Each structure stands twice: as C-alpha cells, then as structure tokens.
Amino acid sequence: MAARRTDLHPDVEAMLATLEAGFPDVTQYDAPELRELILSRRGALTHEPDMRSVVDLTIAGPGGELPLRIYVPHGDADGPRPVIVFAHGGGFVFCNVDTHDELCRSMAHAVDAVVVSVDYRLAPEHRAPAAMEDMYAAVQWAVDEIGSYGGDPARIAVAGDSAGGNLAATVSLAARERGGPHLAAQILIYAVIDDDFETESYRRYGVGYYNNTSAMRWYWEQYAPGGSNDMYVIPARAETLAGLPPAVVITAELDPPCSAGEAYADRLAAEGVPVTEHRFDGLFHGFLTFPSLSLAGEARKKVWDMMREVLARP
C-alpha cells in the first residue's frame, strides 16, 4: 500500500487505519455476500436524534414496490417544511435506509426539513439506470403526497451521498428533460459523478484512503458494466447542464472522486446554474456517516448550513 500523507489530523489517520484494516475488499465477493458481510458489521440503530414521526411505507415504483422512509422533525414550523428526497450511498450495490438512518435523522433535525429516504433497487441485479428511475418515482410521489407530512411540494430538493449523489445529479437531469417535477435544489455529497479513473484525485488518493480505485472500478462494473454514455448514468456525459436546479456540491480532498465532483461544480456554474461548493480538506469519502469522528460534527454543521441556505432561496 502506498504511504499515506503524514500531515493528516491524528483522528483522520486513526480512522483511515481502522477502515483500511476492517472494510472488506469488495472485489472479492459477489453482491449478496458483500451485503450480508457489511450488514453483519453494522452497529445497532440508535434511532437518534428523535423525530416527531418516522414512517415506513411502500409506493408503486417502476420495478415494483419501492420502500421509503419519511422523517419529520420536532418543532413548530412556520408553514410547510422544505423536502429532501435522499438517496443513500453504497456503490450502487449495498446499504439501505437503515445504514443511513442516523444521517437522515440528523439532516431532518438540523435542516428542519422533511426527509424522504429512498430504498432504491441495487446493482448488479438491477442495472443502471434502475436506481435513478426509483429516485424519480420517489420525487413524483413527494410532489403529490408530501403535504400530508407537513412538507412543501414546491420546495423539493434531491440529495445523496456517494452513489446516492450520482442519483441526485442524474434525477435532476431527468426532471429537466421530462418537464418536471420542479426541483428546488440538488445536493451532491462526495458524489460519484464520472467513471474516469485517471483524474488527479484518483492518482493521488486511489490507494490507502479507504475508498480506493479498485473498489470504484468494481462498483461501476456492477451498475453500468462496460461503461455508459447515458447522462442518466454518468451525469458528466450530459451535453449541457443548463437549466438544472441550484446545486450544493460537497467534496472530500482525500476521495478519489473529488476531482470529478469539482469539475462538475465548475461546469454547472459555467453553464448558468447557481452553485455553492465546498471541499473538506483532509477528510475522506464517507466522512459524514462517521459521527464518532471528531471532525465530523463541524463538517456536518457546514453542510447543514449550506443545505438550509439553498432551500431558503425563493
């Protein structure tokens, strides 16, 4: 393994060492085995922070039943709350609404928003763009039904981390191309935007920083084997990004997909889309889902502030 940088925060260094030693080599398993292995290592759900309500329901999706989990925070909102339709990360292959339960609760509480977490279909059983189509169906459902949960159907954002960030970006393209629904924002959290493994961040951080190049190649091969020129799979392939919703783009310096995320933010801005961008230097892929990391709390505060700001725009 290539030597890691020596200037990292001690807690980041310790966390990376733990993750490098304990996270499975995803390329050595088939998808069902990998899901079981990751599930077996997951801690018990804490159900924190507490919500006014958490509702699990199933809607009709393009591939059959589509599970959603809806988080409504405590507090007296001054009118309907903004809505965040959220797609979890997991390389398009694993994770679910439970793995991201704490993150979604924290998001709903801090942003004062109704969060709809989407349990989309996973690869390789369901190839691209199945997951995006599930997200699109969830957004359509939210437009029609979220008022029953105190959400504002005129202020619906899409968000996701990692592979989920890809789905937030691609569903934004789909909504533009299909004439709706209107989206208030797209919130891309260390999103997997492209399948270019030769970028600067891949060259610098493709080994030794938890999320590595070999894993990323494997994830893409599960979701879009052989690659794709479809913008609903790889949003960087879109001929134009004009007309997309305002974007919040979060990247992590030590993350191989970082350069592609930054390039996408630059292109969005160049093509007239309002963009708020922030790179977390010295942090790695997935850091928001590790609340025990000492730096995660302050980073979350920054992300929640950015989300509140974009959702407050008229």
Residue 183: per-residue pLDDT: 98
- List, for residues 204-260, the tens digit of each pLDDT value: 999 999 999 999 999 999 999 999 999 999 999 999 999 999 999 999 999 999 999
- The pLDDT tens digits for 134-166 are 999 999 999 999 999 999 999 999 999 999 999
Outline where 117-257 has alpha helix (H).
Answer: 130-145, 163-177, 200-205, 213-223
pLDDT band at 130 (very low <50, low <70, confident <90, very high): very high
DSSP 95-106: --TTTTHHHHHH
Please write the tens of the pLDDT for every residue from 294-314: 999 999 999 999 999 999 987
Distance CA 101, CA 122 (A): 18
* pLDDT given at position 46: 85
Return the percent helix, strand and coil in the chain, to nearest 5. 40, 20, 40
**Class of 10-311 in CATH:** alpha beta
Q: What is the pLDDT of residues 13-62, one digit of tens each?
A: 999 999 999 899 999 999 999 999 988 888 778 889 999 999 999 999 99
Query: CB of 220 within 8 A of CB of 158?
Result: no
| Per-residue confidence band for 197, with pLDDT thresholds at 50, 70 and 90 | very high
- Amino acid letter at 138? A
Residues 6+ apart with CB under 8 A from 188: 159, 160, 165, 168, 169, 247, 248, 249, 250, 261, 264
Rounded Cα distance, 244 and 108, in Å? 24
Q: What is the spatial distance between Cα 6 and Cα 52, in angstroms, rounded to a whole number?
A: 45
- The residues spanned by each domain of the chain are 10-311
Structure-token pair, residue 121? 């279909």
Tokens at 153, concatenated:
């159907």
The pLDDT assigned to 2 comes to 59
**Each residue of 270-291: pLDDT tens digit?**
999 999 999 999 999 999 999 9
Contacts of residue 120, Cβ cutoff 8 Å, sequence gap at least 6: 66, 87, 130, 131, 134, 135, 138, 167
Where in the sequence numbering do the catalytic residues fall? 162
Question: Which one-letter amino acid corresponds to residue 49?
Answer: P
CB 253 within 8 A of CB 285: no
Q: Order of strands, edge to edge, in the sheet holding 114-118?
A: 53-61, 64-72, 114-118, 81-87, 151-161, 185-189, 247-252, 275-280
231-234-235-236 Cα dihedral, nearest 10 degrees: -110
End-to-end CA distance of the chain: 49
Q: Is 70 helix (H, G, I), strand (E, B) or coil?
A: strand
Summarised one tens digit per residue, pLDDT across range 164-189 is: 999 999 999 999 999 999 999 999 99
The pTM (predicted TM-score) of the whole model is: 0.97
pLDDT attached to residue 275: 98
